[in-house]
Amino acid sequence: MSEKINFAYNLSMMTMGKVLVVGAGGVATVAVTKMAQLPEIFSGIMVASRTKSKCDSIASAIGGNRVQTAQVDADDVPAMVTLIRAFKPDLVVNLALPYQDLHIMDACLETGVAYLDTANYEPPEEAKYEYSWQWAYHDRYREAGLTAILGCGFDPGVTGVFTAHAAKHHFSEIHNLDIVDCNAGDHGKPFATNFNPEINIREVTQKGKYWDSGKWIWTEPHEIHRPLTYPGIGPRESYLIYHEELESLVRNFPSIKRARFWMTFGQEYLTHLRVIQNIGMARIDPVIYNGVEIIPIQFLKAVLPNPGELGENYKGWTSIGCRISGLDKEGRERRYYIWNNCSHEEAYRETGTQAVSYTTGVPAATGAMMYMKGLWKRPGVWNVEQFDPDPFLSELGRLGLPWHEDFDIDLEL
C-alpha cells in the first residue's frame, strides 16, 4: 500500500517553478487542475494550445487568475520559442498529441527549458511506436544540461514506475512482466474512445507485439486474448496489444524474459472498430473529398464524442497494474501484483473529466512536481523508470491515485 511508504522528504529540497502546459484536452484539464492545487510547487501556470478558448475554459473552471492562457501551434517551433521566451517556464509539459513531441523538444532545446510528455512520438503518416526519435535527443539534452522525462502518464508512466518499484524493493531479477489495463466503465454511448480518437484508434488497430526470450513476437491485431480478473471488478476479456513502454522496460530491466501488455475491450467496441476499419474510416492517408484533401481518421475524430466530455454519465472503474514474477532479493521465486483502481464518477466530480484523462493527468502533474523538487532532474532524455520511484509513488496517492500491492497470488498469466 502507498501508505506504507511515507518518506519524509526534507522540505528544504522543495523548490517551486513555472510550468507551461501545451494542449487543452481531457488530460491537460486534469493535470492543470492538480497543478493549480499546488501553489507551493507551481508558482506560475500557463496552458497554451491550438484553440485558445479551450485553455480559457480550463482557467476559468479553476478560477482565481491562477492559470494564464495563450494560443500556440506547437508544430510551429519559432512560435513555441517566442511563447517560452515570453512566459519563461522552468518546465514544458506536452499534453498535446504525440505528433508535436519533436517540435516541442526542439523548442525546449533552443530555449534551455526542461521537457515532459505522456506519449512517444509518432510520425503522422505511419502508426509506428518507438522511442528512437526521442532517444536520439539524449546527447543534445545532456550537453545542454536539460532534463527530458518521457512517457509520464499512466501507461506509459505509472506502469514504468511500478516496475521500477518492484525492481528496487522486491525483486533481484524480474523475469515476466504483464501490464494489465482494464476499463470497466460505461459511458452510455454506442461508441467512443477514452482519449484522442485518432491516437487511440491508431494504437488499438495495429498488430500486436510482445517480448519473449530476447526478441519481439508479432501477432495479428487482437489475436491473443483471455479473461483476466481485475480487483474489485472481476473477469474481463483482455487482448494482447503492443504498447510503447514495453520497449523501454525491456531495455532498462534486461533480466525481463517476457513482457506483454493486455487491454480490455467490450464486444460492442470491437464490432464498431471492425466496421470503422472495413469501411476505410481508420485510414491515415489522405483522400480527396469534394476537391479537398482529408484524412479519414481525422474526419472520424470530428464526429465522435469528445473523450474529455464523456465524464458526466460515466460509471464504473479503471484498473491498471503490473503483474510481475521473478526472483526476490533472496533468490526465491516470487509473484507480485501492483495496481491502481480509479472511479470514473469520482474523477468527474473532481475535475469534470473521466478516469482515463484523470489517470494520465495526475501522473503528468506528479512527474512535473518531481522535476520542480529536483528529485527527477538529470541532464539527458529519460523514461520514467530510470528515476527513483519512491518519491513519485509517495505523492501519487495523495494526488488522487492510491495504489495497492499483493504478493504470491495467482497472476493468471
- Site residues (vs ligand NDP, CB under 6 A): 22-28, 49-51, 54, 72-75, 95-98, 100, 118-119, 153-157, 195-196, 199, 307-308, 356-357, 360
In the bound state with ligand NDP, the residue whose beta carbon lies nearer, of 174 and 364, is 364
In the bound state with ligand NDP, the residue whose beta carbon lies nearer, of 158 and 233, is 158
Query: In the numeric block, which cell numbers belong to residue 47?
Result: 496552458
Cβ proximity of 100 and 217 under 8 Å: no
Q: 109: closest CA among 74, 137, 86?
A: 137
- Please state whether beta strands 147-150 and 234-240 pair in parallel, antiparallel, or not at all (unpaired): unpaired
Q: How far is the CB of 327 from ligand NDP (least distance, A)?
A: 29
Which residue has its beta carbon closest to ligand NDP?
25
Q: 120: closest CA among 292, 289, 242?
A: 242
Cβ proximity of 109 and 140 under 8 Å: yes
In the bound state with ligand NDP, the residue whose beta carbon lies nearer, of 53 and 255, is 53
In the bound state with ligand NDP, the residue whose beta carbon lies nearer, of 341 and 360, is 360
Cβ proximity of 69 and 56 under 8 Å: yes
In the bound state with ligand NDP, the residue whose beta carbon lies nearer, of 24 and 282, is 24
Cβ proximity of 168 and 391 under 8 Å: no
Q: How far is the CB of 245 from ligand NDP (least distance, A)?
A: 8
Q: What's the CA gap between 196 and 184, in Å, rounded?
A: 19
Q: How far is the CB of 134 from ligand NDP (least distance, A)?
A: 13
Q: How far is the CB of 148 from ligand NDP (least distance, A)?
A: 15
In the bound state with ligand NDP, the residue whose beta carbon lies nearer, of 147 and 193, is 193
H or E stretch covering 218? strand 215-219
Q: What's the CA gap between 240 and 217, in Å, rounded?
A: 11
In the bound state with ligand NDP, the residue whose beta carbon lies nearer, of 171 and 250, is 250
Q: Is 37 helix (H, G, I), strand (E, B) or coil?
A: coil
Bridge partner list, 236 = 228
Q: How far is the CB of 12 from ligand NDP (least distance, A)?
A: 32
In the bound state with ligand NDP, the residue whose beta carbon lies nearer, of 198 and 395, is 198
Q: Is 274 helix (H, G, I), strand (E, B) or coil?
A: helix
Q: How far is the CB of 332 from ligand NDP (least distance, A)?
A: 33
H or E stretch covering 92? strand 91-94
In the bound state with ligand NDP, the residue whose beta carbon lies nearer, of 312 and 333, is 312
Q: How far is the CB of 71 from ligand NDP (least distance, A)?
A: 9
Q: How far is the CB of 178 from ligand NDP (least distance, A)?
A: 17
Which residue has cell 502518464?
A: 153
Q: 195: closest CA among 38, 25, 387?
A: 25
Q: How far is the CB of 69 from ligand NDP (least distance, A)?
A: 12
DSSP-derived secondary structure for 23-62: --SHHHHHHHHHHHT-TTTEEEEEEEESSHHHHHHHHHHH
Angle ∠(75,78,84) on CA atoms, nearest 5: 95
Bridge partner list, 345 = none
